[in-house]
Structures are given as structure tokens and as C-alpha cells.
Amino acid sequence: MTSSENSISLNPMKIWWSAFRPKTLTAAVVPVLVGTALAQAETDRFEWWILVSVLAASLLIQIATNLFNDAIDFEKGADTAERTGPLRATASGLLSRRQVYLAAGICCAIALALGVPLVLHGGWPIIAIGLISLFLAYGYTGGPWPLAYLGLGDLFVILFFGVIAVSGTHYLHTGRWSELALMAGLQVGFHATTLIAINNLRDAPQDAKVGKRTLAVRFGPRFVRWEIALLAYAPFLLGVVYGPAGYRWAGMLPLIAVPLAGRLTRAVFSTAPGPLLNPVLARAAALHLVAGLALAAGLFLGVRT
């Protein structure tokens, strides 16, 4: 065990914080901020209680997904001593499977409770989104058809941490669905998916051994590298829709993240699958966060042409 791993093992709070996978939590925060900013731009108002409730529920569902993933990947043999990614709490023995499952269940229960006033406000569409999201927190890696093991993880992230999260947040504030919310959701979802694509590229050799059929396993490193490049740059191209809609800064501000996309894609194409890709994940998280916050700022400012 390394000195950093040993320090984690001696500190229960650090153990749990590591198990929550904090670098992935931007995937829960950014779409809520973007959906809220678009609602404010269109109506000149938004509800603070909706923002706080959705943000908290989204974070809890993301954490639950990560915890279920931690325990289930260990059970299925995907996390072993050969693992090249960051330390996992269950596989390392820092936490038991029972502890991790219990914590994931608690997160889901609290998220469900937070969702009650949102359902009363938004009606059946929010019931559908909430229940499916809670189910897939487990179903991403567990159940008879685990999405991550079938190569559907990338699509799941685009939809649930992009399109549905942004559109659902916007709907709660405005009571209607929006084509711009759909487009913003794609932008956010594409950048969020760079994280899982890099993760799968890194873990492809080990995943292949345990039957985890990610896109990296199914189609190989070359395919996934070009997928990552597309996911990194496409959101900037989609930003052209904001000009005709009157939100020119929403299309322009995210361009400050283009250099981050460039550095990310260069690193992905020049790095072999394995542990050297771990620092690249941080670049993907930075791209997602910076571009997402810039998009939210451009919308929230409401600067019209």
C-alpha cells in the first residue's frame, strides 16, 4: 500500500470521500446549473428552492451510482490488483460491500425524499425521471442488463447527465420543454461522457478479461480516441444555435474551454491505455466544468443581441 493509500485507510472521512469519487460530481452539478440558467434567461426568473433541491438530489444519485459501481465491479471481478485506475474502497478492503451498499441505499432514500416536493410541483414527468434515475443508479453496473457491461454507459451519461438533467431542471422552473434545453443538454452530456470514455479506454485490457463490453472493448482504442475527440469538440459547434435565439454569449463564452479540449484530445491520442491516462481524467473533468459553467454564465447573463 502506498503512503497516500495508507493515509486514506487511517481516515474514515477520506475513505468515504474517495468512494464518492469527487472528480465525477461535476456531472451532477453542471446540468442543473445550465438548466436553471436557461430558465432564467427565458423567463427572467427561477426558483431557488428548485435549484437547491434538484442539485442535492442529483448529487446524491451520482454518489449512489458511484458507490453501487464500487461494490458491483468488485463482485464481478472488474476491480482487482491489476486495476490501473484510482483506489477503490471495496476492492481495497477499506470498506465492506455491506457498508457501500448501505450508503448507496441511504443516498437513494434521501434523494427520493427530496424529490417529493419536486414531483408535487412538476407532476408525472418528474416521477418518471426520478424513478428511472434511481433505478439506473444501480442498473448502471448491476442487475440483469447492466448498462456499463453492455457498452451502453456512454449513451446513458449523454442522456441522464446531459439531456434529461438539463431539460428536467428547465422544465421544473418553467413548466415547459424547450429545444434549447435539449441542445444545452447534449452539450453538457457530450463533455460529461469524455470522462467515462477515457475511463473505459484506460481499463479496456482488464474489462475485456471480465466480460465488461464497453465501447473500448468492443471497438478498440482507435475508435474510442476518435469518440473522445468528437465528444470534446462537438459541444462548441452546437453553440451556434444560441445566436439566432438571441443568446450570443451562451455561444461565445464556452469557447474559452477550446484549449482544454485541445490538450485533452492530444493527450488521449498520445497515451496508451493504462495508468498514464489517470491525469487525463482530471483534464476531462476540467473541460466539462469550465465549458458548463461558461455556458451557464452566458445564459444567466441573459445578454441578447
79-128 tens-digit pLDDT: 555 555 566 778 778 888 899 999 999 999 999 999 999 999 999 999 99
DSSP structural state of residue 152: -
The mean pLDDT of the chain is: 89
Tell me the pLDDT band of 1, cut-offs 50, 70 and 90: very low
Residues 6+ apart with CB under 8 A from 250: 41, 239, 242, 295, 298, 299
89-110 in b/e burial notation, b at 16+ Cβ within 10 A? bbbbebbeeebbbebbeebbeb
Alpha helix segments (H runs only) across 44-96:
48-75, 89-92
Question: What phi-psi label fits residue 143: left (phi over 0), alpha (psi between -120 and 50 degrees) or beta?
Answer: left
Is the pLDDT at 36 greater than 90? The verdict is yes
Tell me the three cell numbers of residue 80: 482487482
Q: What is the pLDDT at residue 239?
A: 94
- The fold of the 3-301 domain, in CATH, is Farnesyl Diphosphate Synthase (1.10.600)
Confidence of residue 249 (pLDDT cuts 50, 70, 90): very high
What ranges do the domains of the chain cover? 3-301
For the chain, the C-alpha Rg in angstroms (whole number) is 19
At residue 76 the predicted structure's pLDDT band, cuts being 50, 70 and 90, is confident
Q: What's the rounded Cα separation, in Å, for the pair 28 and 49?
A: 17
Hey, what amino acid is at 170? H
What's the pTM value of the predicted model, to 2 decimals?
A: 0.89
pLDDT number for residue 3: 41
What is the model's pLDDT at position 75? 79
Q: What gap in Å lies between CA 182 and CA 169, rounded to an integer?
A: 11
Query: In the chain, pLDDT over 90 holds for what percent of residues?
Result: 61
Q: What's the pLDDT at 33?
A: 97
- Mean local confidence (pLDDT), 158-172: 95
Residue 281 CA to residue 117 CA, distance in Å, equals 36
Cα 131 vs. chain centroid, distance in angstroms? 18
CA neighbours closer than 13 Å in the CB half-sphere of residue 137? 29
What gap in Å lies between CA 146 and CA 150, rounded to an integer?
Answer: 6
447527465: which residue's cell? 161
The span from the CA of 87 to the CA of 74, in Å, is: 12
Residue 274 has pLDDT above 90, yes or no: no
| 8 Å CB contact between 94 and 9 | yes
Q: What is the tens place of the pLDDT at every residue in 137-147?
A: 888 888 788 88
